Amino acid sequence: MNDRLHCADSGEVADLAAFLGRLVHYDRAAAVRLQARAGGGALAVFGRPPSFEVLAVRTVRLAAPVGTPLDLTVSAGELLESVDEGAASVVVPGPVTGPPWAGVLPPRGGWEPVAGLPGPEAMRAAVAGAVAEFRARDEALPPQQRTRSERDRIGREIWSRTLGDTELPLRAVHAAQSLGFLRPVRASVPAGPPAAPAPVALLASGGWLRLRTPYGSVAMRRPGGTGGLGALLVRPV
């Protein structure tokens, strides 16, 4: 396609570049799905970091609404290379064959708040504690048990635990932390009309959970849920 999209804020473009960089760090062949509604003022970028079993989304406000809808899957690396932070723009590369997850996105609407989510500091502490526990248990394994399958078993046990009084597994919080979504909000984040960036929150819609932060969201199917198809509402997070 090679269409250039001009964004409303250079800081959001820098955040998008950081998000793409982390995805490529985890998987050099990573793909992302792009969506922008005709007449809409935001570009949504969906990705799936390996191992975390969640979908991640970063949205960027556009300087002007797009005239025609945009919905395609592209190389994360090529998109990253096209980011121009100085010009606050990004060039949409040509489409690629999308991975299976790209066809099964969370529902567009119907998101309702879920109670019981700890604050960001407590979430970061929970992730740090889980990482420390994994390392301690891994180091305590006798040589004959230090196998990939045993390490995977320990990891699944730890990261499947739920956070606070919610259904949200720790792996979703770990994903948000690893992708830079849980860092403290910088003073330069634009408030934008009509309100300041939304606080960290847990939302649910049908068979899906979504951890929303000012820097992006992670979404996953609820345990035992069937989930719905569609797309997250394209709007700044």
Q: Is residue 233 part of a domain?
A: yes
Task: Please state, in angstroms and as integers, the Cα–Cα distance from residue 101 to each residue in 70, 151, 173, 210, 230, following that order.
Answer: 18, 26, 20, 16, 12
First-to-last alpha carbon distance for the chain, in angstroms, is 26
Mean pLDDT by 10 residues, the chain (237 residues): 88 96 95 93 95 93 93 97 96 93 90 94 95 96 93 95 94 95 68 58 95 95 58 41
Q: Using alpha carbons, select from 237, 195, 194 the residue that is nearest to residue 214.
A: 237
pLDDT given at position 189 = 45
pLDDT given at position 187 = 53
| Phi, psi angle pair for 135, to nearest 5° | -65, -40
Q: Is residue 136 part of a domain?
A: no
User: What is the span of the domain harbouring residue 7?
Assistant: 1-113+184-237
Q: Is residue 169 part of a domain?
A: no
CA distance 123 to 198: 17
pLDDT given at position 1 = 59
pLDDT given at position 64 = 93
Q: Is residue 88 part of a domain?
A: yes
Residues paired with residue 90 on neighbouring β-strands, in sequence order: 5
Instruction: Specify the number of domains making up the chain.
Output: 1
pLDDT given at position 218 = 97
Q: Is residue 31 part of a domain?
A: yes
Q: Is residue 165 part of a domain?
A: no
For the domain that residue 94 is a member of, what is the CATH number? 3.10.150
> Taking a C-beta distance cutoff of 8 angstroms, is the pair 61, 44 a contact?
no
Q: Is residue 141 part of a domain?
A: no
Q: How many CB atoms lie within 10 A of CB 147?
A: 11
Q: Is residue 3 part of a domain?
A: yes
Confidence (pTM):
0.86
